[in-house]
Structure 1
Amino acid sequence: MTMAVDFCDIEIPDYEGLYLPKIPTFLKDPGHILTSIRNLTLGPDAIILATYPRSGTHWMYEMTEMLLKGKAEYCRKSRETAYLEGLSDLDSMQFYNRIVSTHVPFQWLPRKHVDGCGKIILVIRNPKDTAVSLFKIFDSGGYIKNKSFQDFVHEDFLGPKAMHGGWFEYNKEFLKQAATRKNEMIVITFEKLKKDTKGELLRLAKFLGVKEDEQLIKDIVDKCSFNKLKDADKVVREDNLMAETMRELSLKENVVVYRKGEAGDWKNYFTVALNEEFDKAYTERMKEIDFYPEYE
């Protein structure tokens, strides 16, 4: 697929009032892929990893796979091989019985999995760090040009065309669902996972029904430290789907997936005025939800 126009000039794809990221599947036929995901029949032991983009998805995917395998071994296949909306054909995911990854809002999750009490992992990262991380990965890939961070926050994060309905609406709906699905959903925050990786992995193992194994948890914590996971991503993977997708969109192939993996980096980018504006937006948009992110 060769773009005839500059990528940044391409209209943002949307479906039923929901604005979506500019990935090949959504640019071609968003309704088809969203409906296919909703109608997907996963295996009885499948687990959905739901995250708003740049919330620690690759990190959690790798650790969950290690827990399920019972071995602290890196995945040879990238997380993109099980990224539902990134796949143009979901036949390979029919009755898939491992962890699948998605950024789509709750209403588009596979219905049979949701209605059948299938397990869902929700990872939430504080929105300020999420905004910084999104800006950086978009900038590194060539998604945006000549746009300041402040403009990005106003237009692409807080604005009406924020992807997947925006961080607030996306996580608000998942948190509402988690409140009534105690045995089916677990909510993990990026910040708590950074502070107490071992404790959160033990909690996740219990949720997944994985036998507690102190040595396994210790090994996973070590193998999934930021620098080791970043290095492994370069040498272990047997596929290169991220680069292939970027090539298809005529963008920079070496997009920065693993940047810093820190909590609190937002302080280096938010002005006092932008921070006050952002806090006001959080208060207004999340007023129905008793959830307060950690701002390091």
Structure 2
Amino acid sequence: MLLSVERMGLLQRFKSFLYQQMVKYQVILYLLPMLQPFAKYFAGTGSKGNHRITDKSGKSFPVCKLNGKLFPAFGLGRLQTIPDVSIRRDDVLLGGYPKTGCHWVHEILHMLVNGKSELTKYGKGLGGMIDAIPDIILDSLSSPRVLNSHMLYDDLPKGVKEHRTKIVITVRNPKDTVVSFYNHVRNLEEFYTYTGEFNDYFDLWIEGNVDYGSYFDFYLSWDELLKNPERHPVLLVKYEDIKAQPMENIKRIAQFLEVDVTDEFVAEIVEKTSFNSMKSKRAKDMSAKLFRKGKVGDWRNWLSEEQSEAIDKQWQKKMQGCIYQPHYNE
């Protein structure tokens, strides 16, 4: 019995040593280009979800349901380990409800903290999405890291609170958000397997019966922190504001991150993170389907008057005192 315990201890130390070496020399990052062509074969979600969301026409997609909350079908095993994800003191965390400009702002943040106007190699997914990416990839990323998550504050890694990690939260008007979210779900067919129509998906979304839950509840959950910055450093970044005034808003983000920038450097970031530049860069990547139009006001081509009013009513019911108030000007 004692010998067996000693062997287990040796095995564990060997595994820890092997993990440390793979992380130190970023072995897994060198393997990623070889694995990318096979990514779609690993995207099947049937065995990773424990719940299905079904629209009124009978079309459905898999999700994970954990502690009463809905998440993409990343697997319960991954979702349950998120509180223990290792956080470094110089990490920056990007949050926000899905399809509110997270890919765009991730690139901006990466350029600011690294001082180079270069797009990331893999985008925000493999570049630090703690909701889905294995720890060995996260631990292999060089500092400073820009991690990202769509989790609520209370569900983030414990280290985020312990280190008072700077958090940037993206927000976009809900009408454009639901349109973008629907197209996201439809375009990622290998992952979601959803073939429903927009009107049916809208009914799910307005009730919060989609992965990551209610848009309205999500921003309500962050409202107290945003109103009380002494509790935790959190910056709200509005999609429409960056579109309208990119220079000014990138400087605002830099100030929050305590990063010194020049006008020339910010102008380079604006150019490199333009929608067309990013879409062109990702054309052959797994993330290519995530870039659609990137416009403000496209909801007018999708939402009926009744659907637009339904969002307005939901806002009036829940969000009157919220620090963020949407605007719909094109």
Q: Same-fold call, TM > 0.5?
A: yes
Q: 2:207 aligns with which of 159, 182, 186?
A: 159
State yes or no: 1:289 paired with 2:322: yes
Which amino acid in 1 is paired with 2:71? L
Identical-residue share of aligned pairs (%)? 24
Q: Is the 8 A contact 1:48 1:120 kept in 2?
A: yes
State yes or no: 1:187 paired with 2:236: yes
**Counterpart in 2 of 1:125?**
172
Gaps of 5+ in 1: 244-254
Alpha-carbon RMSD across the aligned residues, in angstroms, is 2.3
Q: Is the 8 A contact 1:120 1:186 kept in 2?
A: yes
The 1-side partners of 2:83 and 2:168 are apart by 17
Offset of residue 11 of structure 1: 4.5
Offset of residue 116 of structure 1: 2.6
Q: Describe the superposition over 1:24-64 as per-residue Cα deviations: whole angstroms up to 9, x where unpaired.
A: x23xx2xx423422122211010110021111111111111
Q: Is the 8 A contact 1:36 1:90 kept in 2?
A: no
Structure possessing the higher relative contact order (Cα contacts under 8 Å, 6 or more residues apart): 1
Q: Is the 8 A contact 2:60 2:196 kept in 1?
A: no
State yes or no: 1:45 paired with 2:94: no
Q: 2:132 aligns with which of 76, 86, 92?
A: 86
Under a length normalisation based on structure 1, what TM-score does the superposition of the two structures give? 0.84
Q: Is the 8 A contact 2:174 2:311 kept in 1?
A: no
Change (3 A) 1:73 1:146: closer
State yes or no: 1:19 paired with 2:70: yes
Residue aligned with 1:86, SS:
coil
Offset of residue 153 of structure 1: 0.9
Return 111-120 or 269-278, whichever deviates more. Answer: 111-120
The 2-side partners of 1:83 and 1:287 are apart by 31
Gaps of 5+ in 2: 1-41, 53-58
Change (3 A) 1:3 1:169: closer
The structure with the larger Rg is: 2
Q: 1:61 aligns with which of 106, 130, 133?
A: 106
Q: Describe the superposition over 1:75-121 as per-residue Cα deviations: whole angstroms up to 9, x where unpaired.
A: 1232211111111x314434964110111122111122123311000
Under a length normalisation based on structure 2, what TM-score does the superposition of the two structures give? 0.76
Change (3 A) 1:192 1:53: same
Q: Describe the superposition over 1:186-229 as per-residue Cα deviations: whole angstroms up to 9, x where unpaired.
A: 11000001000100000011111111211100111111111111
The 1-side partners of 2:129 and 2:46 are apart by 27
